Amino acid sequence: MRVILVGFGERPGVLEEAERLRPAIARHAEIVASDFTGQQDLSEVEADLAIVLGGDGSILRAAHQMGTRQRPVLAVNLGRLGFLADLSPEELPAVLEEIAAKGLAGRVIEHLMLDCRVTRGDQVLAQRLGLNEVSVQSGPTFRIIDLDLYIDSELVTTYSCDGLIVSTPVGSTAHSLSAGGPILRKELQAFVISPISPHTLTNRPVVDSAGRVYELVIAKAESGTAVVVDGRVACTVMPKDRVRVRKAQSRFKMVTVRGHSYYRTLREKLGWGGRIQFGGEEREGA
């Protein structure tokens, strides 16, 4: 089994943990490439599996590095939260041994990725592959912006807000969640549209099919307004620019591990303990 070993080397402890785990990995697989800069193009590396050391940010970075040639990702959590990376370093050797013996068949779940294209007239300003979300965010002087939302060329509404997020199910626990969006199970084929601080309080998050084409047209914005894909600025935009978001052909591939279920992750990461505090007294939740 050929593996790529990646992580963000500037994060404390990542390089040290990589060296500690390298012998255990090498017992079950051939490490054909490793990168801890986040800069190497991994799309041309012939590999069966990518082992990512870090948190969800490291997984996003690895997905971008693999581009249109996504490999199954086995994520080892060295971060704080880790909705995607929930495997502990201590569990990795046993999981690799099992994969080496039985293969990856039945262990890989594919997740939706998005294609974002920004245009100004006939000019393409940016095109990006994303895993979490696309957002249009106001820049200095941080005034409210107006965005027209079209779905399959039909006008839905005009948002007056600080920004607008179009999120995948994987990204529903990221920026979209902090903006009040719902949590979607990662395997769903859907997008979430979540306004950031909307001027009209009846503008609520919307969930619709991933088979549709979503287009944001900039109606009013300041000069610093930007399109951000997975936390990285793709370009700045002006009135009449168009941001088109649709399902990408590529799929993000995640290796599942026994004992690590979707709802267990939500329960542990979001602190869904089922207990409510009343004046220092702990009671069971309803």
**Same domain, yes or no: 218 and 122:** yes
Range of the domain at 261: 2-106+256-277
**Same domain, yes or no: 119 and 226:** yes
20-70: per-residue pLDDT in tens?
999 999 999 999 999 999 999 999 999 999 999 998 899 999 999 999 999
Residue 286 within any structural domain of the chain: no
**Same domain, yes or no: 125 and 91:** no
CATH number at residue 90: 3.40.50.10330
162-205: per-residue pLDDT in tens?
999 999 999 999 999 999 999 999 999 999 999 999 998 888 99
Q: Where are the alpha helices (DSSP H) in the chain?
A: 14-26, 56-66, 92-102, 175-178, 262-269
Determine the Cα–Cα distance for residues 185 and 224; give it in Å rounded to an integer: 34
What's the number of domains the chain is made of?
A: 2
Q: Note whether 228 and 134 are within 8 A (CB).
A: yes
The active-site residue, picked from 35, 41, 56, 146, is 56
**Same domain, yes or no: 76 and 92:** yes
Rg (C-alpha) for the chain, rounded Å, is 20
Q: What are the distances in angstroms from CA 212 to CA 56, 115, 148? A: 27, 12, 16
Residue 101 within any structural domain of the chain: yes
CATH number at residue 144: 2.60.200.30
82-134: per-residue pLDDT in tens?
778 778 899 999 999 999 999 998 899 999 999 999 999 999 999 999 999 99
Q: Which two tokens stand for residue 261?
A: 């279920």
**Same domain, yes or no: 38 and 55:** yes
Please provide residue 140's backbone torsions phi and psi, each rounded to the nearest 5 degrees: -50, 130
pTM summary value:
0.89
Active site residue 56: yes
Residue 283 within any structural domain of the chain: no
